[in-house]
Every structure is written in structure tokens, then in C-alpha cells.
Amino acid sequence: MVASASTIAPENQQLTVWHNLEISEAIACLQSDGEYGLSAATAKRRLNEVGANELTAKKSKPWWLKFLLQFNQPLLIILLCAGLVKALTGSLVNAGVIWGVTTTNALIGFIQESKAEGAIAALAKAITTEATVIRDGQKLRIPSGELVPGDIVFLTSGDKVPADLRLLQVKNLQIDESALTGESVAVEKNTATLRADAALAERKNMAYAGGFVTFGQGTGVVVATGNTTETGRISQLMEQHTDLSTPLTRKFDKFSQNWLYMVLGLATLCFVVGLGSRSFPDALEAAVTLTVSAIPEGLPAVVTVTLAIGVSRMARRHAIIRKLPAVETLGSATVICSDKTGTLTENQMTVQAIYTGGHQYTVSGIGYAPTGEILIDEKPVNLDNAKGLQECLVAGLLCNDSSLERKNGQWVVMGDPTEGALIASAEKAGLSQASLIAEMPRLDGIPFESDFQYMATLHATPKGKIIYVKGSVEAILKRCNLMLNANGKPRPLDCVETLQQTSIEREVNIMARQGLRVLALAKKSINSGQNTVDHADIAEGLVFLGLQGMIDPPRESAIKAVEACHKAGIQVKMITGDHAITAQAIARRMGIHKNGSVLAFTGADLAHMDKTELAQVAEEGVVFARVAPEQKLRLVEALQSKGEVVAMTGDGVNDAPALKQADIGIAMGGAGTEVAKEAADMLLTDDNFASIRAAVEEGRAVYKNLLKAICFILPVNGGESMTILISTLFARDLPILSLQVLWLNMLNSITMTVPLAFEPKAEKVMEQPPRHPNEPLLSKSRIQRILAISLFNWIVIFGVFEYIRQTTGNIDLARTMSINSLIAGRIFYLLSISQLIPNLIAKMDGTIKENVDIPAIGFGIVGAIILQIIFAHVPLINQVFETAPLSWQQWLFCLGVGSPMILWATFVNRFDPPN
């Protein structure tokens, strides 16, 4: 694997298992020197060979081609054809309107695609920084873009890691890699060689581009730059998955394609039959009229408005939609894959259990706010009567490098989250960190080191000098020979019940099974003349003070939201970079399960599975821990292969490929990285799982309103088409002309259909199971509804036209009255499927008290009536659309003819409920 002296090929950067190499092997493989680094000449040559240390996207299509490709959709093709037909028949204004609708739809798609490509640009910013390197034996500060494989890089607290590094030296080095790995706490780094199959989150001898150094110092050799880094691999995964389609767009494409074939077939039949009994121009007019009547020109506008209103409603519930079709997609979700930290949990470490002096204590309150109590047997504890507990809390306060501050009304930790939790637990008992530090000042300390697994501080106290120690249970217990009892008196560890140490370990296991991170605390009194502390001083003779168990607790609102999702038939799965035990414990607390089981799998488990096994595990599993970015992506794909509609949440760089692949990607608006936000379809402004549940509810309501709109628009097209086709077959005059059809489809239909988008959500919408992902837009029952209402519309149009023409001989009057009778029937049908009348009744009897969008339907009906008055009585419209004025008796006649729709719609609603 050793490269030539002048070449470090990109494939070597990717294929070498750097964490599995000894330090000397890694340096030799990269032709570098740990002390002198690279020469300036070698660095320049390598920069030319491997390129700049920055992410580059693959060359995309030119903007004009992307725009033209937006028109390659069946529904837009139908609209283009409709516009062409109108242009050929001389209706240039109408053609312009139709083409305007088409162009608007294409522009929306073009803008969405352009925004999606912004994710790669955001990734590039994630690793842009400066770096301190050694070249020719000299320290230099250079732009990170100039780094090459083999460079020796220095890291210190506050630095952003500029490239992928194999660590050479570390001193208390801790790096926050949560954006890449999902690990919720900073990782303590070392230089030990690891096994080749170590998971990304477990590679403690590596530092990855985009990570943030939170503590300590280190040096490393650059092993990968640009697109060959782990972050670069994520950008390539994102480029491979650029499908912007959603279940709604796919259903509309299928519907549009089938509708297109039907329209073309009927138009051809109409034209051929017409030639047998009519002149060529009349046959063409019949075919053109049927084509225009069958095309629902207003449908795209209605869909867009309905989705836009859904976007507005979701925004009020903390969910910002970036792509319109995502509104409906969320409502059809069958699986929600959620990140743990900050979404299901508070993202604030909290001490919840304390064991000291042989007693178990619980701690109330959540997060870093010093509000809550320490309880024993559900009763508050008085520290004056629990000296052992007091000593344990004091140790946590003083053996601590962090502090709590109040910012913007929120308590935040300045430093390590674990130490912040210790401060909060002590302050809940009435202790003050500032007061104790003043009373017991620190003289010296030993910072935490992963080799020793503890931290120690020396303090001057009124009772002499004391060393306080905190760390892992294993590291502390082996140094203790005494422990405090409840009254604060020392006693041997093994003085009670055979071995007291066994009891301590039992308490540790109890806390661990609850998903708690456990810290042990101890102290030691030393000679009053000593002002420093060293490892030898605490090698033995410590007094064990107690245990504090902490966790990032689940949000109460998220627990309720998970329960609501289960009731709605939606599976909830946790995909996290954290430990499996912790994640599994959180899942149990939150009620996340499948058939009562909480199966957990790790990234190591998934790595060896083929697609079939993974698909089965993805369905059965509930918790997926320690997963790499590509494994999150594979999990989403596996669930989709089983027919699931997947919503995926995330906030880190590592989540971006899965967010983009999911049917709907949900990014955290607060804690989320820009990369995750750019890849997502939706942002949560409060980073709360409960807001996902609310958005699902709104999405379901939007879809139901969409179906209402479709089932309201299409029967008009069906009735018009049946009228024209039958008139042609029987060689009768057309009861409705192409311009009149356009009036109905573009103006009247939109006026009455758009208000359906404002319909409030139906009751118990979240107690219904999710729709089957493969359910067509027009199910069998909806097709039957459309045909039944179309039949009524045909009878009204054809019957009124023939009756008025034969009794008056005025064909313009006959057409006008047939159209107005159709509108009267539509008004009655609209009332039958909307919630206007039920809500008015409910408001009058006090059943509904909250504000609902009742007036929208009323405004739509009034607007439709005004339009029909204009249609019949404005002279210019009479001339253009070949209509005639009506007397008030004729208006009443039209209303009477349309009124049977009430009974007909009631009959249809029994078999296909609209809500």
C-alpha cells in the first residue's frame, strides 16, 4: 500500500484502513516525517496531484436543460396540449393562461432542484477552516484547502478538524464528532491501534474533517482530503440520491398519464364519429371541445393552493416545509426514523439517581436548570440529616471544570455536559458552586485523562486539605478502602453484608440498565503542607463517596407524540450514533416498541447483512445504534423496499444522505447543521418530536382535502365529456362549447374548489391507520363516486339543453341554462362534502368553540354565483361566450333542477364518505 515518493493516489486515501495501522506504518505509507513534516516542494506537488482539500460536486446539467426537463411530466404535457388547442382555435388569451399555469409548475420544480444541490455547497463550508501544520520543520498557519496527505497537523481546543487525521500524539484530546457520527458527547481520543472493523464512532485514534476540538491537544498526520474524507464520502452518497419525487407526485404522474391516454382516446373517437355526420370543422370543434372539457386545467392550481395552506398550518405548529409535496408525504408516512439526542430527548444531561451511604436517592427536574429536589422514598431530603449525600454532591461541584450560566432565559453549561449535570444536582439540594469555591479554593488538579479514567482536584478547606476525585466506577473503586455511611462517617467497604463492593456494583448495574451514565466520586485528606497533587497521591486510600447516574432524559411531549403515532398506525424507530444500551433504555422509557418488543441492532450487526436480511431487520428492529452514515442510508432504502413511506429526522452531516433519500427528510432547525437543513424537506423550529406528530396530523388533513378537491373537480369534466361524446354519437348540437368549458374549468371550478383547502381537519384523523403506500390517487370507491356525480351532471346538462332548446328554440339560452343548472347542482354537492353545515350546527350548539375556517366555503359559493350572473348578463361575455340573459323564473328553474343533487350526493356519501 506504500505510495511512490511523489504520488499519494486518491484511491490509497480511501482503501487504507488507517485506524488499523501503527503510527510508524501510517507515516511510512504517506511518505512523511512525524517531526519535520513534508517539504514545501513535496506539498506543492501533492496538491497538484490530489487537488485542493475541498468538496467538489459532479458537473451538473446546464440550467436551461434542467428547466426544460421540468416539462417532461404527463400533467404538464396535458396542459401544454390544452394551451396549443386553444391557440389553434384563436383563443390566445386562454392559451396564455394555461401556459402560464404550466410554466409556474415548471419553475417550482426547477427551484426545488436547485435548492437540493445547495446541500453539497453547505457540506463544503463544513470543513473550510485554517490549519497549523509543520513543513520543513517549521510551524505554519495555512488555509485548510492547501492541506495534502502526509501533512502533520496540530490540534488544540477550539479548532475545527481540517481533514481526516491518524492521530500521532494526544494530551487529554476530546473531539465533538456528533455532526458526523451522532455520538452525543465529545469523544476522548488516543493513539492505540484499533481493529480493522471498528465502527466510525469507535475510531478513537482518528480525527475526522468537520469535528470540533472541545478539550486538550494533539497532532495527527493527514490521511485523506477533500472528497476522500468521511465527510466527502457523505457528499458523494448525497449526489447518488437526487430523486425529488414523493408519493403524491408519483400518484399524480400515474393519474395524469392514465388521464392523458383516456382523453386522447375519447377525442379521437369523437373526431372519427363526427366525420360521419358532420363537416370537418364541426367534427374538429367537437373533438377540441371534448379534449378541453376532459382536461382539469384548474387542478394544478387547486393542488398548489391546498398544499400551500397546509404549509401555513404546519408552520404554526413549528414545522417549516421546504418543498410543497412534502406536506402530503408526511401525512402518508408509515415509519418515522428519529434521531435520539435533542429530538426525542432534551439534549441536556441530567442526574436522575444517586447512591451514597447505602441509600438510593432520586433527583427530580430536567436539564441544567437548578429546579427540582433530591428525594428518598418520594420525600425531600434535608442535607443536615444526610451528610453522606452532602459529601457526594460537594465532590461533584468542586471536582469540576465547568459552570452553569443563564442565557436568553435558558440554563446552559459552559463546558462538559456531564459536569454541568453534577452542578445542577448539587444546586437542587441548595449548594452553591460559587460559594463552595470561595470557601474551598482549588490549589491544584489532575485533568481527566483517558488512560486513568479519572479527574482530581486539591482544595484547601476549613478541615484541612482534601483531594476530590471523580471518574469511572472501575478506576475509583480499586483505589478506595473506605466509604461514608449516611451520616458521613467512614467505614470499611466490606464491613456490612459480606462484600459491600458487591452492593455498589449492583447499584451500578441497576443504573446502567436504565441507560444512565454512572460516575463514582471519592475523596482523600492529605498533609496540610502539600499544595500539589499527583497520580501517586490517589493511588490508594480513597474514601468512596457515592455514585451519580445521569442521562439525557426523554421529552415528555415526545413520549405523548410517540404514543399518538402508534395509535395512528405509524411505526417509530430510533436511529442514533449513541450506545445501544443507552438508546434501548430511552426507547423503553418512551414506549417505542414493535408488538411490545424493543429489538436493538448496532452498526456492526448491519455491516454483515445483505439487502434481504437488512430489509427484514429494518422492519423488526426498533433501535439502531452506532450506525455509520451509509448504514442510515441503507436502512431507509431497506424500509422503502418493503413498501414503507419513510420520514427521517436528523441534525448532523452524517444524517444528510438518509434525509435526502427518505420520502420526507426532517432536519432540526435549531441544533441542525446547514448540511442537514439543505438536504431536508422539512425543518422543525423547536427540534421536538411532538412537532412531527402535529405535522403528520396536518399532512393527513391536507391529503383528505386534496381528495375532496379532486372528487369535486373531475365530475364536472366527466359530465362535460359525456355530454359532448353522446351528442356527437347521436349527431346532436353540442350542449356546451369549448370556450364555455374553459369558463367552467378555469374560473368556476377554481372558485368553488379552492375553499376546500381551508377545510378543518376531521375528528379522529390520528386514530386512523396510514394509507397503504400503493393506494392509487383514485381508488375504486372514488372512481365510483366520480362516475356517479358525472352521470348526474350529464343528465342535468343534456336534459336542460334539450328541453330549453325544444321549448324556446334559442340555443344560446339553452346552453346558458344548462350550465347554470350544472353550477346549482355543484353548489349542493359542495355543501354535501364540506364541513360547513356540520360546523355551523356545532358552533351554534357549543360543540365547537375554537376558531375554524368556516367562511371559506361560503365565500366560494358566493363567488361562483357572481361569476354565473356575469356569465349570463354582461353583454361582452354574452357576445364572446355565446350566452344569453335569464329571467328570475329561469334562474329558479336552474336552482330547482340542481337541487336533486342533495339526495343523490347523500346516497353516494353513504358508500364513499368524504371525510
Q: Which three cell numbers stand for residue 584?
A: 434501548
d(CA 577, CA 653): 12
Catalytic residue ranges: 339
Q: Is the dihedral of CA 908, 910, 912, 915 positive or negative?
A: positive
List Cβ neighbours of 405 (8 Å cut-off, separation of 6 or more): 411, 412, 414
Check residue 597 and report its DSSP letter.
B
Q: What is the dihedral of CA 105, 108, 110, 111, to 10 degrees?
A: 170
First and final C-alpha spacing in the chain: 66
Q: Which three cell numbers stand for residue 43?
A: 506539498
- Phi first, then psi, for residue 417 (nearest 5°) are -60, -35
Q: Residue 397: exposed, middle, or buried by beta-carbon count in 10 A (0-12, 13-18, 19+)?
A: buried
Which residue in 331, 383, 328, 333 sits closest to 361, CA to CA?
Answer: 383
Alpha-carbon 844 to chain mean position: 40
d(CA 478, CA 737): 95
CB atoms within 10 A of CB 914: 20
Q: Residue 764: exposed, middle, or buried by beta-carbon count in 10 A (0-12, 13-18, 19+)?
A: exposed
d(CA 643, CA 615): 11
d(CA 574, CA 587): 7
Q: What is the dihedral of CA 252, 256, 258, 260, to 10 degrees?
A: 180
- Contact present, 186 and 227 (Cβ < 8 Å): no
Q: Which three cell numbers stand for residue 261?
A: 391516454
| Start-end of H helices in 454-523 | 473-477, 500-513
**What does the H/E/C string look like for 331-383?**
HCCCEEEECCCCCCECCCCEEEEEEEECEEEEECCCCCCCCCCEEECCEECCH
Angle of CA points 790, 792, 793, to nearest 5°: 60
Q: Is the dihedral of CA 298, 710, 321, 115 positive or negative?
A: negative
Across 204-230, b (16+ Cβ under 10 Å) vs e yields: bbbbbbbbbbbbbebbbbbbbbbbbbb
Alpha-carbon 510 to chain mean position: 34
